[in-house]
Structure 1
Amino acid sequence: MSELYIGLMSGTSMDGIDAVLVRFHGERPELLASHAQPWPVKVANRLHALCNPGINEIDRMGEMDQIVAVHFAGAVRALLAKTGHHPNQIRAIGSHGQTIRHRPELGFTLQIGNGARLAVETGIDVICDFRAKDMALGGQGAPLVPAFHQAVFGSHKGPRMILNIGGIANVSVLPGPDDQVFGFDTGPGNTLMDQWYRKHKGGHYDAKGAWAASGWVNTDLLQRLLGHPYFHMPHPKSTGRETFTLPWMELFLAERPPMRAEDVQRTLLEFTARSIADAILPLATGVKEPELFICGGGVHNDALIYRLVDLLPGWQLDSTDALGLHPDWVEGIAFAWLAKSFLDGRAGNLSAVTGASRQAILGCLCPAN
């Protein structure tokens, strides 16, 4: 049986589709090819709009469910064209889909990108809807990547942390073999910075954090943001862009004298850095030179990374490149791994991470035939 898988990921930042072709050697993934495909501007705008309550949501969601699947299929074809592989050589696609709503407090999470349509369009079996089973078992449905992180990044030398900075930031804590793996969403990653940048600059994101670096932190606004109740909740916990929204942040802006847009951006960057540092510093109590390896789009935000270095003195910080996986493709590879886990009959969640009552096989199969 072929051990070639494709992983598909589009995160809460909605800047594009990541597609990876992966060969597995046991648990260890080998990245054979990757493809990044930006969302067309009109599609991205419609996806962003779906993340907030609005008129005619069900019809708009149904239409976008098909459109996302078609674009995912296009990314798969482009990926295979790079290597000359044929669809019948791929055992399965692991598709995360596109999250448009994450409401664990209400017992649901919603990812679109119709698996059946994707299977028909590509001629490859699709494993999708990975989060629903965990939520049915009382879990948060997120984050799912810590089980993958443990499989490929776990160290027998001692504790190690993997930080993914996407739209939302999450951390996996990988202790020695006798301790329990856990992880949780620390709070906002790029989401607020990206939303503010789109509003004032029109682009997708603040490259390298250059615009934020031109501003100054407003300590009053920062403290208001850090006062969000989410940061005082114990883990297991997860969150989404529905929680940390621009309208929520702008309520605090309205209470004070006008600020320069770049100062708001700098304060939002500090908010992300501080919320991450505040969440992970207590996890390393008593550990000499804790290790933190970073992946996701935030790894390219130089200003953010510099702040994390400042806020985590004595820590060893690096990207997951140092562990053998390029930081841009870790999440895509994770969903290829989850597809393999499904077909191998292996659990894909960790109860200590999501709060589910037990570990379980995650996902649903959409056959191509």
Structure 2
Amino acid sequence: MALSVSWCRCGPGCRSAGAYRTYPGPLAAGRRIYHNRPSFTNPPEPADDGRVVNEPLVHAIPGSGPFFCPVSDSSASRLRFALGLMSGTSLDGIDAALIRSDGRRRVVPVAALTVPYDPAFRARLRAILGGRGEVAAVERELTLRHVEAVEALLQAAGRTSRDVTVIGFHGHTILHAPEERCTWQIGDGALLAARIGIDVVADFRGRDVAAGGQGAPLAPLYHAALAADLDKPLAVLNLGGVGNVTWIGPGDGPGGDVGAALLAFDTGPGNALIDDWTARHVAQPFDRDGALARAGRVDEKALAMLLDHPYFDRSPPKALDRDAFDMAPLHGLSAADGAATLTAFTAAAVAAAGAHFPSPPRRWLVTGGGRRNPALMAALAARLKAPVAPVEAVGWDGDALEAQAFAYLALRSLDGLALTLPGTTGVTRPICGGILHRAS
């Protein structure tokens, strides 16, 4: 199948910088992917020198002493291809990304695409979230859709399965109850590995939750790697279905690793409540351009009731389920006023999260679908005390960031490095998680 290639010459900072290939098949629905896009926040890619890093990994978490995680003797500083897959709580589709990385500070994004779910499959997936439907059948279909996403990305990137060291396969969360030490992401890692012919790391959250952690968020170490050369303190806000934030302080761990000063937790709702409200009241999957919210007025009484939730009284690290909040305070509101109130709720929850940071961030970088909602971005700018910008302002790709993170974490899992830390999930020690499924 032919691929069309186009170039943008806008330069660093433009989301379109680099070469793009458009995959014309029905799977990718003509979505644009980037190919060999340069990394603007990392130094030029050094030559692979095969050096072996065998120093203990130290994480100095704010408010605690250092924690040690052994680094595998076999872990080397060479860059390897890894592919990451993410199906998020917003139920919009599969994000797939290919990177080259050493699993530490060095990251080179290579290619990415998004494969949207069709309405029928989205409905089946939503049904099992509500305790209905056949989980096994949906899990198999979900996995096979991920197989197709991997095949499309490899074709578009001009790579084969032999080029890729590992796939990081998140699956789709259908239950997350860390207080009961329970988390469940559907997706068959063994089937994916067998179909694609690449080793797969899956079940990224289970070991952390079993050890008493929140199991989320998982992207902070990747955020720290990307932000290695940026001014700090810095806050990276991900507005997917649920909102989560990574506070990155100055300093690095030894052995060329990242994560010397990290704090991360779920802030509250992201887009999920807004999307659910919009779907229910105007039969649209999301509030495009924030138009519905901008047409309404915030109901301050309803907003206060939404913010009066015990989650906001807890200290981080902490994590949240997509359906943790009750929409009852919005009863009787118009479609526009409800959207405006929920948009304000997301922004107010983020602002409240800032009170937990060890020091104020110099700026907020926003990723996830929420960064495309002008009403939400304006609400954040009005409530936060530092500049707010989408991650594209520093050359990152907000559409691919989570998928890239799971590629990066899969490499760390192979190398025996920590995926979660006391400052990111509340676990008592760094945890190297994930389950490896061999391709053969």
Do both proteins adopt the same fold according to a TM-score greater than 0.5, normalized to the shorter chain?
yes
Q: Alpha-carbon deviations, 1:127-158, whole Å to 9, x = none?
A: 11000011111111111111221222145743
Counterpart of 1:297? 369
Tell me the SS of whatever aligns to 1:6. strand
2:137 is matched by which residue type in structure 1?
A: E
C-alpha distance in 1, partners of 2:426/2:159?
A: 39
Q: Alpha-carbon deviations, 1:184-241, whole Å to 9, x = none?
A: 0001000100111111232321112111111111111111101111111111110011
Where does structure 2 lack aligned partners over 5 or more consecutive residues? Answer: 1-77, 253-259
Does 130-139 or 319-328 show the bigger shift? Answer: 319-328
Counterpart of 2:201? 127
Counterpart of 2:127? 49
C-alpha distance in 1, partners of 2:208/2:246?
A: 17
1:340 is matched by which residue type in structure 2?
A: L
Shift of 1:74: 0.7
- 2:315–2:356 CA contact under 8 A, matched in 1: no
Aligned residues: 355
Shift of 1:76: 0.6
C-alpha distance in 1, partners of 2:356/2:190?
A: 44
Counterpart of 1:31? 109
Where does structure 1 lack aligned partners over 5 or more consecutive residues? Answer: none
Out of 248, 251, 262, which is 1:181 matched to?
262
Tell me the SS of whatever aligns to 1:290. coil
Shift of 1:284: 6.8
Alignment of 1:145-156 (within 5 A): 145-154=219-228
Shift of 1:101: 1.2
Counterpart of 2:397? 326
Counterpart of 2:59? none
C-alpha distance in 2, partners of 1:322/1:13?
A: 24
Counterpart of 1:230? 311
Out of 351, 354, 363, which is 2:422 matched to?
351
Shift of 1:282: 5.2
2:388 is matched by which residue type in structure 1?
A: L
Structure 2 residue 151 is the aligned partner of structure 1 residue 87: no
Out of 194, 200, 218, which is 1:144 matched to?
218
- CA change 1:232–1:130 in 2 (3 A) is same
Tell me the SS of whatever aligns to 2:397. coil
Structure 2 residue 178 is the aligned partner of structure 1 residue 104: yes
C-alpha distance in 2, partners of 1:236/1:282?
A: 10
Counterpart of 1:265? 339
Q: Comparing both structures, which one devotes a greater share of its residues to helix?
A: 1
Counterpart of 1:193? 274
2:241 is matched by which residue type in structure 1?
A: G
- TM-score (normalised: structure 1): 0.92
1:188 is matched by which residue type in structure 2?
A: P
Q: Which runs of 4+ in 1 moved over 3 A?
A: 154-158
Structure 2 residue 85 is the aligned partner of structure 1 residue 8: yes
- 1:139–1:354 CA contact under 8 A, matched in 2: yes
- 1:194–1:206 CA contact under 8 A, matched in 2: yes
1:73 is matched by which residue type in structure 2?
A: V
Counterpart of 2:138? 64
Out of 291, 297, 300, which is 1:216 matched to?
297
Q: RMSD in angstroms over aligned alpha carbons?
A: 1.8
C-alpha distance in 2, partners of 1:337/1:79?
A: 17
- 2:420–2:431 CA contact under 8 A, matched in 1: yes
- 2:316–2:356 CA contact under 8 A, matched in 1: no
Tell me the SS of whatever aligns to 1:358. coil
- 1:154–1:160 CA contact under 8 A, matched in 2: no
Q: Alpha-carbon deviations, 1:323-345, whole Å to 9, x = none?
A: 33211111111000000101122
C-alpha distance in 2, partners of 1:124/1:203?
A: 38
